[in-house]
Amino acid sequence: MTSVNVTDPNQDLTTRVFDNFYDFSVVVDSNAYDVVLSYFKSIFGDSLAAQNFTVNFFQVSENTGISVEQLLQEIVGQNQLQLTATFSYYLNNLRSNSTLLGVSAPVTPNFYAARNVLP
């Protein structure tokens, strides 16, 4: 007889985290997924943003080899802007240089090419 407080060992206690756009899929412990998702929901308040950051969080953890617990300890206490900068750093290491996140260097055109542009 099972109860709410006793887990059933016959049930699968994992969650599949996937992103179809980047063709990423990983199976994680459901408790770890719930902890990470609830943390991001407390930071952002928006459910969709929290889910996207959770998928990115597990993608970073999988590709860098850093454990979920260690990575979560690193980001605890950061606000939305700091989290965005941290995730930009990690995700830029996984992406192509032509699709970097969070880079806002203004492009200065050549003097002679800019001179020929009409307002």
The verdict on residue 109 lying in a domain is no
The verdict on residue 117 lying in a domain is no
pLDDT attached to residue 116: 61
pLDDT attached to residue 6: 57
Q: Which residues pair with 17 in a beta bridge?
A: 26
Residues 60-78 have a mean pLDDT of 88
The position carrying tokens 């542009």 is: 117
- The structural domain count of the chain equals 1
Between 81 and 95, residue with greater pLDDT: 81
CA 62 to chain centroid, in Å, comes to 11
The verdict on residue 73 lying in a domain is yes
Residues 55-76 have a mean pLDDT of 88
Type of residue at 39: Y
Predicted structure pTM score:
0.66
Name the residue range of residue 57's domain: 14-102
The verdict on residue 97 lying in a domain is yes
The verdict on residue 23 lying in a domain is yes
The verdict on residue 58 lying in a domain is yes
The verdict on residue 114 lying in a domain is no
The position carrying tokens 């943003």 is: 49
pLDDT attached to residue 87: 80
